[in-house]
Amino acid sequence: MIVLWIVLGIIVVLGLALVFSYNRFVSQRNLIRNSFANIDTELKRRYDLIPNLVETVKGYAAHEREVFEEVARTRSAAAATSGGSPAAQAAAEGPFVAALGRLFAVAENYPELKANQNFLALQSELSNTEDRIQAARRFYNANVQDYNRRVQSFPSNFIARQFHFAEEEFFEIPEAERTAVAEAPKVDFTFSAPSAAPASQPAPAAPTPPPPPAPGAGPTIPPPPEGGGSGEPTP
């Protein structure tokens, strides 16, 4: 009888552990999906800001056509991955961020543009959105790391296999795209005009020494004083 109670107790404990582990997997998976939805929301906000930003810059630098076309192309490619896998969206974000960096590098060459109120407002909104994207990305990747560790670890990996809890993807820019972003001009949202260096004053010219006397010439005799006379004192 005691053995039966012991066996029943073990079955109950194992059943509770199974339920707890399963429910934790479900909670973690939902948390990952919600945190990725936050990334997607902030990315869409940034995509919506870019056309207005491009039009504002174009008003001052219309000849930078290649940069504008690259921003439009990479933005469309990145926006098309919305709703897809995190890996696909992260891969599309690399070229877009690099193109955006080149757009702001162009803006650095136009002081009038950097003083434009519309440009300043878009710049501030884009900077805030960028901060929210980075915070959401870190939160998402931390949740994925915890979840994947449980999928791989024993004994929770047994529950994961039985109920088809697969590993989730991180939101990371691939190495090749990360290199392209690192080499692109840095996106600096706090523009400041470089201070002009003070003009250097020219050094005073050294006095020109008198030319040396010609060879064989006698000493130079000073002219007589004004008023005539021999220059000797009057007795």
- CATH number for the domain including 110? 1.20.1440.20
Domain that holds residue 39: 28-183
**Could you tell me if residue 126 is inside a domain?**
yes
pLDDT tens digit at each of 235 positions of the chain: 787 888 888 888 888 989 999 999 999 999 999 999 999 999 999 999 999 999 999 888 888 889 999 999 999 999 999 888 898 898 899 899 889 889 988 888 888 888 889 998 998 999 899 899 999 999 999 999 999 999 999 888 988 998 999 999 999 865 544 444 444 434 443 333 333 444 444 444 444 455 555 444 444 444 444 444 444 444 3
**Could you tell me if residue 41 is inside a domain?**
yes
Token readout for 210 is 């008198």
**Could you tell me if residue 98 is inside a domain?**
yes
First-to-last C-alpha distance (Å) of the chain: 159
Q: What residue spans of 153-227 are helical by DSSP H?
A: 156-162, 175-183
**Could you tell me if residue 174 is inside a domain?**
yes
**pLDDT value of residue 174:** 53
Whole-model pTM: value is: 0.68
Say if residue 64 is exposed, middle or buried (CB neighbours under 10 Å; 0-12, 13-18, 19+).
buried
122-140 in b/e form (b: 16+ CB < 10 A) is bbebbeebbebbeebbebb
**Could you tell me if residue 144 is inside a domain?**
yes
**Could you tell me if residue 146 is inside a domain?**
yes
**pLDDT value of residue 173:** 63
Token readout for 68 is 């504008």
Q: State the number of CA atoms in the 13 A half-sphere of 94 facing the CB.
A: 18
Percent of the chain at pLDDT above 70?
73
Please, what is the angle between helix 86-107 and helix 65-80, to 10°? 160
**Could you tell me if residue 217 is inside a domain?**
no
**Could you tell me if residue 17 is inside a domain?**
no
Percent of the chain at pLDDT above 90?
39
Look at residues 58, 100, 96 and name the one whose alpha carbon lies nearest to residue 80: 96
Residues 96 and 197: their CA atoms lie apart, in Å, by: 36
Give the total number of structural domains in the chain.
1
